């Protein structure tokens, strides 16, 4: 999500086997492999929980007359953009082919958007109206949020929290969980995962989502340079935000610098794709 987030610190015992820092080379951006912490939590359970919470959110919005109808111009716009992005998601996560993708608009002034596990996307009207986003900028936001789901950052956060809180209880079973989820951890998903709408991500997660999202947008024919203008608008809308070292969220200037450094990797993808 684009709001500020805190992240869970993991235990020293888990560090050695949990991260793979090896990056893979390909046509586009380069990011590290997914954390093995994701293996601690069944993907199907995370996605099932996300669907339940997403449906609850839609119902609450509908009860308040805050859920935009299917024929709303902005809903049609968002869904049109998503249809261009989604086919390029499959390379990043094969499970995405089987996700029942949804895109909805919530009538709220919040500058926010998210994509829950399993492809459940929501935009708040505030991010569209207050920032006056172009289609290219919407694609950058949507690509970023989709990237969180593809890279399973929520599942990773839950796995880290679970490993930390259950280490003393499960002992040696944790090691075997890297090769198959320990059944004793299953019930902990509900306890540790709880609210996926407000689950917090780390700076690393956010930076990775920026890059993957930028590539998705470029492949779909949206100008990746929009990542720069997007974060300029976000910075202007968030005056008074704490400096980067006080926040788990990368600063807008840091994100812009990172996006600009990676533009040469995605501009050829955009040029080949053509305008939508």
User: How far is residue 45's CA from residue 193's CA, in Å, rounded to a whole number?
Assistant: 10
DSSP assignment letter at 23? B
Residue 139 CA: distances (Å) to CA of 8, 102, 147, 191, 214: 29, 15, 12, 34, 8
Half-sphere exposure of 43 (CA within 13 A, CB side): 18
| Residue 145 falls in the annotated catalytic set | yes
Half-sphere exposure of 20 (CA within 13 A, CB side): 12
User: How far is residue 149's CA from residue 92's CA, in Å, rounded to a whole number?
Assistant: 10
Token reading at 114: 């998210």
Map residue 32 onto helix, strand or coil: strand
Token reading at 142: 């949507």
Q: Which entry of 145, 152, 208, 215 is annotated as an active-site residue?
A: 145
Which residues are annotated as catalytic?
A: 145
């Amino acid at each position: 999500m684009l709001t500020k987030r805190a992240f869970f610190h993991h235990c020293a015992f888990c560090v050695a086997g949990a991260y793979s820092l090896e990056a893979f080379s390909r046509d586009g951006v380069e990011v590290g492999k997914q954390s093995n912490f994701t293996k601690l939590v069944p993907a199907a359970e995370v996605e099932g929980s996300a669907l339940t919470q997403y449906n609850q959110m839609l119902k609450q919005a509908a009860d308040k007359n805050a859920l935009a109808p299917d024929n709303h111009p902005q809903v049609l716009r968002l869904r049109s953009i998503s249809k261009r992005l989604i086919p390029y998601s499959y390379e990043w996560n094969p499970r995405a082919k089987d996700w029942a993708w949804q895109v909805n608009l919530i009538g709220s002034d919040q500058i926010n958007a998210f994509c829950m596990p399993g492809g459940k996307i929501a935009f708040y009207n505030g991010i569209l109206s207050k920032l006056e986003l172009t289609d290219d900028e919407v694609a950058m936001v949507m690509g970023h949020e989709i990237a969180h789901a593809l890279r399973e950052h929520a599942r990773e956060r839950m796995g880290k929290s679970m490993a930390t809180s259950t280490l003393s209880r499960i002992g040696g079973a944790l090691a075997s969980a890297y090769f198959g989820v320990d059944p004793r951890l299953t019930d902990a998903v509900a306890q540790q995962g709880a609210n996926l709408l407000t689950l917090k991500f780390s700076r690393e997660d956010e930076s990775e989502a920026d890059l993957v999202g930028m590539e998705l947008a470029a492949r779909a024919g949206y100008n990746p340079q929009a990542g720069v203008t997007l974060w300029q608008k976000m910075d202007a809308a968030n005056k008074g935000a704490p400096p980067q070292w006080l926040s788990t969220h990368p600063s807008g200037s840091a994100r812009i610098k990172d996006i600009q450094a990676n533009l040469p990797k995605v501009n050829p993808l955009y040029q080949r794709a053509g305008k939508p």
